[in-house]
Chain A
């Protein structure tokens, strides 16, 4: 596993304590796993995602990530309705390892309440949490 200083953290994303990131563009929020999370999990072999149209409340489990070591749940940072899922991950789950902020995105949602974004950590706060 890498040192925290070797990991990358997208500037314009917000983070959760469970290591998901959320990024707002236009009216949708894109959600994925942070570089720290993918590094901890190791080689990812399967990503289970919800279906378009599913609705979740903040903190709900919306899928799972299976690595060679374990299966981990992933939790939604913002309440809303799923409008798109990254179907490429079905055949290429390793994109979560290789490019977690771009090709490895997981779902896009239409948020119920944009102000929930304010409760998430920015890069500096997330890094501070990781460094404990």
Chain B
């Protein structure tokens, strides 16, 4: 759907119909003191030429993975985006500021979202996926709220300390004002969530485990499922790197009740940290508890396939304050992008890309270990891992950003105060052996 502004003529015709003499008369219900009388404090309009120069100047003051070798992930990953994806998704039928849900005229968009839901559910091995959320953090917070709503006798949820720190902050923001409490599950020396600590926790309604976790390590989801079942609590898993499930056994096969994920890896640019794409999938028994929107496939009066919004009875326009979520929008354009990405790479392609990520990360880890970095765990990982850096690395790292166009890991100390000199590295399919060898050489005499 296109954005078509009203011309003065359109406005005059409409005013003639409604019987008002001006647009201002339409807004008489708004108290006068609330209206802005001054002109807005905006800079003067620029010519197209000047605007272009201005915007390019702003853009070039940023640095991005287009020009850099990127060895950082931590929730936002530098993957190759096939040219067909931005080409298709920027078509005007998809790239619109409208909420294109009116089923009669939005069949293409609805079909796209339906296919997105189907592919997400398949990738994660779950029964049902929503039409998407803002990002993994908000999707994960919604999962926690589902668990808390289902069991009103307790108000605590256990969350692994290896869930992405930003996502834990989002959960705090959602939960704390409602009187809910997050209990953090400590981590082991091996960089995994401490299952024995979870076993001793009482009065919790659910548990959230990220895998691969924030340190890149793959958690034993089966073991957590067993504990969750014994405690009769909701088992929530999350992930920040969707492509991991091109290789790993999916959360559904471990019996996850709810899965929250970040879909940025699926064809969406890093864009300086957002917008991402929140994935949320559930088992069938969670279907009526899930927040947000769903597109369903049905038949019209003539027996043709048609797509509609479904299960909307729990949304706020119908259920008001009892709605399962107050965020009923979805991240439509990015969901469409992810659907196009998944359809482009296919079942075999995603496995190949995932395998490349893992192989390159293994090579990166061993290359850095040879030049003085210390491995801190033997836990299996996907495309990220933690290393303890040799002396002087933090200066070298700043120098690499300034002068060599290399992002070499992120410092974990701001997130985990006991992890001085520990860095989280990532390798995606976009880095080459040459890039890795160059990095290893640069940091050899750090």
Residues of A within 8 A of B (CB): 46, 48, 66-71, 73
Contact A70:B313 (CB < 8 A) given known A46-B288, A48-B288 = yes
> How many chain-B residues does the 8 Å CB contact rule pick out?
6
Interfacial chain A residues near B313, Cβ < 8 Å: 66-71
Interfacial chain B residues near A70, Cβ < 8 Å: 313, 318-319
Q: How many A-B residue pairs have CB under 8 A?
A: 17
User: Is B288 in contact with A66, judged by CB distance below 8 angstroms?
Assistant: yes
Task: State in angstroms the CA–CA spacing of A67 and B322 once bound together.
Answer: 15
Interface of B, helix, strand, loop or mixed by DSSP: helix
- Chain A nearest CB from B421 CB (Å) reads 50
Q: Which of B288, B313, B314, B318 has the most CB of A within 10 A?
A: B313
Q: Which residue of B lies closest to A45 (CB)?
A: B313
Interface of A, helix, strand, loop or mixed by DSSP: strand
Interfacial chain A residues near B288, Cβ < 8 Å: 46, 48, 66
Interfacial chain B residues near A68, Cβ < 8 Å: 313
Q: Which residue of A lies closest to B287 (CB)?
A: A46
What are 17 A-B pairs at a CB distance below 8 A?
A46-B288, A48-B288, A66-B288, A66-B313, A66-B314, A67-B313, A68-B313, A69-B313, A70-B313, A70-B318, A70-B319, A71-B313, A71-B314, A71-B318, A71-B319, A71-B322, A73-B322
| Cβ contacts B318-343/A at 8 Å (1 or 0 each) | 11001000000000000000000000
- Chain A nearest CB from B126 CB (Å) reads 19
Task: State in angstroms the CA–CA spacing of A120 and B358 once bound together.
Answer: 66
Task: State in angstroms the CA–CA spacing of A70 and B316 once bound together.
Answer: 11
Task: State in angstroms the CA–CA spacing of A91 and B430 once bound together.
Answer: 50
| Cβ contacts B278-319/A at 8 Å (1 or 0 each) | 000000000010000000000000000000000001100011
Interfacial chain A residues near B314, Cβ < 8 Å: 66, 71
The 3 residue pairs across chains A and B that have the minimum distance between CB atoms: A71-B313, A66-B313, A71-B319
Interfacial chain B residues near A67, Cβ < 8 Å: 313
7 further contact pairs, Cβ within 8 A, besides A48-B288, A71-B314: A46-B288, A66-B288, A66-B313, A66-B314, A69-B313, A71-B322, A73-B322
